[in-house]
Amino acid sequence: MRPTSKHLATATAGLLFCVAAWAQAGADTGRPPAVIPLASEPAPKLIVFAPLPDALARGVAIIQFRTENLRVMPVFGQSAVAVSPHLGHVHVTVDDWHGTWAHTSEDPIILVGLKPGPHKVLLEVANPSHKILTGETVVFTVPETPGTGAHKH
């Protein structure tokens, strides 16, 4: 099948449109192309919300959080530190426990099995090489529920 002049004209117009769009994007000096890392990015922020009260009444702590200027992802290593925009994860420590785990998604943190009473959870944003960038502590109380208190005779 031989290309007709109509096909060639359509292909040429499409090519010219793509070249014009590329040239215009290069002329936009207001911001750099998305594929080039920014020389200076704002520091990551962590916003932590109090556990959901309905779930807490059932003994489940659901802690929602969000980050700004950082994407929470399961990416680790020194080479990932230079990625723009910033990547990282959240270190989670419950009640000053000596262990910490890395939370690698933006899903809420769900804690089950906490005893009734006061608790605190430290959330720390870390870069891919585990350097702590910022942190917040959320303090809450798991209420007594029927069957969790002292038995009366």
In the chain, where the domains are located: 45-142
Average of per-residue pLDDT values in the chain: 80
Q: Supply the pLDDT for residue 96.
A: 84
pLDDT of 7 above 60: no
Q: Supply the pLDDT for residue 84.
A: 84
**Domain 45-142 = CATH 2.60.40:** yes
Straight-line distance from the first to the last Cα atom of the chain, in angstroms, rounded to the nearest whole number: 95
What SS3 state is found at 11? helix
Distance CA 121, CA 80 (A): 27
Quick one: tokens of 10? 């359509």
pLDDT of 89 above 80: yes
Q: Supply the pLDDT for residue 8.
A: 43
pLDDT of 32 above 70: no
Distance CA 79, CA 129 (A): 9
Confidence of residue 45 (pLDDT cuts 50, 70, 90): very high
Q: Which of 127, 28, 110, 130 is nearest to 69 (CA)?
A: 127
Q: Supply the pLDDT for residue 39.
A: 60
Q: Supply the pLDDT for residue 2.
A: 58
pTM of the model: 0.69
Between these two residues, 35 and 142, which has the higher pLDDT value?
Answer: 142
Contact 59, 142 (CB under 8 A): yes
